[in-house]
Structure 1
């Protein structure tokens, strides 16, 4: 499954972002929330943003693969999404607005492409079938 490969990569990204939060918590000695610590707020924002976008995009990716999209299309859109997420995560941590915008543009583009591909590859002949 192609999507399993990208799910693994994105899980690695999310773990890395979680470690950034842990690092800031330890540094600032904050057990819960953000304690008003700017660096911890930034790290939590980077992690929570990934948590917002990665799951639904992986679901869309798995569905388009299940519905029979061409492997090259799946790889292309998934790589676009991973690049967007990496750019966005690094930009949040570096507090770079330009990188955040670029990362979100790639994220949204890949999500829209997956939406369109899913609508195209949806097996409409079985859409209303009860069997």
Structure 2
């Protein structure tokens, strides 16, 4: 069964991940850092990249399962859009020197909200399917 909404967000997150990857490469070249993160900006870029890698897979799995379980597309798009916004805002906040703690907090709040709402919605759909 095709998942067009989830596929859209998977493509957009792949582009975000690629942009964060290229930023790490560019900063490693600029500051001549081959391994590790001895430079503050390199460390920030690495953490923005790593944080994306840590949260995006679970979010995409939730979106795909929700779409597959029949969540209306507007709901999948609402969650996907907020999730993408949260990841972009967080990456922006953590990448800056000095750090923008406000952007990091907003980005994480959006991210955990989507994960929580998505998990609750998925449980609701599963239980409705099982007992409905």
- For normalisation by structure 2, the TM-score amounts to 0.91
Aligned residue-pair number? 125
CA shift for structure 1 position 51: 0.5
Any stretches of 5+ residues in structure 2 without a counterpart?
none
Partner Cα distance (1:44, 1:61) in 2: 26
Structure 2 residue aligned with 1:121: 125
Any stretches of 5+ residues in structure 1 without a counterpart?
126-131
Deviation per residue, 1:61-102 (Å, 9 max, x gap): 100101111111110111110110111111111221110000
Structure 1 residue aligned with 2:23: 20
Q: Segments of 4+ in structure 1 off by > 2 A?
A: none
Structure 2 residue aligned with 1:67: 69
Deviation per residue, 1:26-75 (Å, 9 max, x gap): 011111122x1111101001000101100011001100101111111110
Partner Cα distance (1:117, 1:13) in 2: 26
Partner SS, residue 65 of structure 1 = helix
Partner SS, residue 113 of structure 1 = helix
Partner Cα distance (2:13, 2:130) in 1: 31
Q: Alignment partner for residue 100 of structure 1, among 88, 98, 104?
A: 104
Is it true that 1:77 corresponds to 2:84 in the alignment? no
Structure 2 residue aligned with 1:129: none
Q: CA RMSD in A?
A: 1.3
Q: Alignment partner for residue 90 of structure 1, among 89, 92, 97?
A: 92
